[in-house]
Amino acid sequence: MKVGVIYESTRGRTKAMAEAICEGVISAGAECEVIDAKEFNGLTDICALAIGSSTRMKRVLPMVKRIISELTDLKGLPAAGFGSYGWSGEAPDEISNRLKELDAELVIELPIKAKDYPGESVIEECRHLGTLLAARCG
Ligand SMILES: Cc1cc2nc3c(=O)[nH]c(=O)nc-3n(C[C@H](O)[C@H](O)[C@H](O)COP(=O)(O)O)c2cc1C
């Protein structure tokens, strides 16, 4: 069982957040896989989940949009949303709301957002999120 961190990113900013989340997971002693949304093919052996996308035209990017639309009941799976944005940042909220709708258990109250490139404090938040997800993977 591992933590899955799915992301879609145009310029590597949300990707950097995904990598920091996995660093946190691994530092806490659990396994983690960073999954490019283009390569996603199902939630197998996942004990916790983070999904990230940057915001484009106030929306989630298309591959992550498809994934969150197609996912079915998450049955209390520990989860969180994240993403980089430029000015309005709707995508992480859209992800988080959809995770709630799918009955995931959000491990952080609000999704993690990075304005532009994630700075050190956001990277630390991402690592911390990783440790929270890892803690749910017993
Ligand atoms: C065509 C286009 C549309 C965008 N629309 C939005 C938007 O509606 N709201 C927002 O906050 N940022 C918007 N952005 C900014 C990106 O979300 C921002 O550059 C982000 O850091 C990209 O992260 P990424 O490298 O993970 O894709 C837009 C950027 C582009 C190129």
- The answer to whether the Cα torsion of 124, 8, 105, 46 is positive or negative is negative
List, for residues 97-114, the tens digit of each pLDDT value.
999 999 999 999 999 999
Q: Which CATH number fits domain 2-135: 3.90.1300.10, 3.40.50.2300, 3.40.50.360, 3.40.640.10?
A: 3.40.50.360
d(CA 91, CA 22): 20
Instruction: State both tokens at 80.
Output: 């969180």
What is the C-alpha to C-alpha distance for residues 27 and 41, in angstroms, rounded to an integer? 26
Rounded to 10 deg, the angle between the 62-70 and 91-101 helix axes is 10
Q: What is the position in ligand 1's atom list of the atom closest to the CA of 17?
A: 26
Length of the chain measured in residues: 138
Task: Tell me how far the alpha carbon of residue 30 lies from the centroid of ligand 1, in angstroms.
Answer: 32
Bridge partners for 33 per DSSP: 4
Expressed in angstroms and rounded, the spacing between residue 26 Cα and the centre of ligand 1 is 29
Q: Whose CA is nearest to atom 5 of ligand 1?
A: 56
d(CA 40, CA 24): 21
pLDDT tens for residues 49-67?
999 999 999 999 999 999 9
Does the pTM of the predicted model rise above 0.75?
yes
Which of the four pLDDT bands, split at 50, 70 and 90, describes residue 122? very high
Question: Which of 54, 63, 123 has most ligand 1 atoms within 8 Å of CB, for mutation?
Answer: 54
How many percent of the chain have pLDDT more than 70? 100
Structure tokens at 102: 């799918």
Position 120 pLDDT exceeds 90: yes
pLDDT value for 138: 78
